[in-house]
Amino acid sequence: MARALLPLALLFRAIAGLRRRLYRHGLLRRECLPVPVIVVGNIAVGGSGKTPVVAWLVDILRAAGYRPGIVSRGHGGAGQGCRLVDAASDPGLCGDEPVLLARLTACPLAVGRDRPAAARVLLAAHPDCDVIVADDGMQHYRLARTIEIAVVDEATLGNGWPLPAGPLRETRARLAEVDLIVAHGELSPRTRAEAGAVPVVEMKLVGARFRSLQDPQRWCAAAAFAGQRVHAIAGIGRPQRFFDQLAALGLDVIPHSFPDHHRYHAADLGFAPGEPKLMTAKDAVKCAPFAPPETWELPVEAVIADGAADHILEKLNDGRQIA
């Protein structure tokens, strides 16, 4: 099937490359915001771990004295236009990841297909913001950026072919143009070679305590589920990573995969009444209103190698704009 789609994939790659060159040479106009922009993205579809990286980035910016805001596409949300998002926003309208980021960071946040327009909405409402973090905006070239951070999970690169024959939005060669690569897991020699001289830092997602969806003040360790079978629910880009993480905590896992950005309904969680159900934080923001008893989320945070923060802040202080 993938080979049958190769002609379309080659056309996609040619168009993507042409579009990139048109923006680079100024033949397509990019929009510059009055504050620096840091883009966090990747070259492939699927979950690479961008959301925890954005949360980590907001923390280091605040620690350095900045007042960051976040803009996002709002994948999975049904809302139109641009809108502000907070911790109480509806994931069905604004998207699951933006609502999760609002809860994780308590940071000003706006969503919209038009990223520059969303940023302007954000800055109008929060004029004290002095840096914008664009979640998943690497290919949104109309938004000029100061720094690009690529989050790369080698497993998401698949067969290495462009869409629709493979998972790549852009070729591996694009990695040589970013400012920093955050590697979620081991990178292949080929990917490292394509990255050239761009610094690569390792990231791990860590989390070992579970929070009740019915009572967010209630926490427990993995040992609370010892001797039981637990149902693991994941509607993310790479559900197997979540299932493996639970297994590494010593749990007897029964996996239940859903599509990325799945719009859950109560019936989706109606199986195995009374048995523990564990899910990602991204799924929990959508399931909390109707989750049955003994449903828990596993919050995670990004642990990124030393030196990454200093590299980003040094680039940010240089204040350069790139296409």
Of 189, 198, 187, 180, nearest to 156 (Cα)? 187
Residue 183 has pLDDT above 70, yes or no: yes
* Alpha carbons 308 and 248: distance in angstroms, whole number: 27
Residue pair 295/279 in contact by the 8 Å Cβ criterion = yes
Of 112, 36, 121, 27, nearest to 72 (Cα)? 112
**CB 116: neighbour CB atoms within 10 A?**
21
Total residue count of the chain as it appears in this document: 323
Residue pair 263/310 in contact by the 8 Å Cβ criterion = no
Residue 247 has pLDDT above 50, yes or no: yes
Three-class SS of 73-140: CCCCCCCCCCEEECCCCCHHHHCHHHHHHHHHHCCCEEECCCHHHHHHHHHHHCCCCCEEEEECCCCC
Of 80, 72, 74, 86, nearest to 143 (Cα)? 72
Residue pair 103/70 in contact by the 8 Å Cβ criterion = no
* Residue 143 token pair: 């938004």
The pLDDT > 90 percentage for the chain reads 83
The pLDDT > 70 percentage for the chain reads 98
Per-residue pLDDT, averaged over 291-313, amounts to 95
Integer Rg of the chain from CA: 20
**Residue type (1 letter), 274:** G
Q: What is the pTM of this model?
A: 0.93
Lowest mean pLDDT among 52-56, 76-80, 128-132, 311-315: 76-80
Lowest mean pLDDT among 20-29, 120-129, 148-157: 20-29
Residue 186 has pLDDT above 90, yes or no: yes
Of 302, 286, 301, nearest to 213 (Cα)? 286
How confident is the model over 93-128, as pLDDT tens digits? 999 999 999 999 999 999 999 999 999 999 999 999
Residue pair 262/281 in contact by the 8 Å Cβ criterion = no
Instruction: Note the pLDDT of residue 319.
Output: 60
Three-state secondary structure call for residue 135: strand
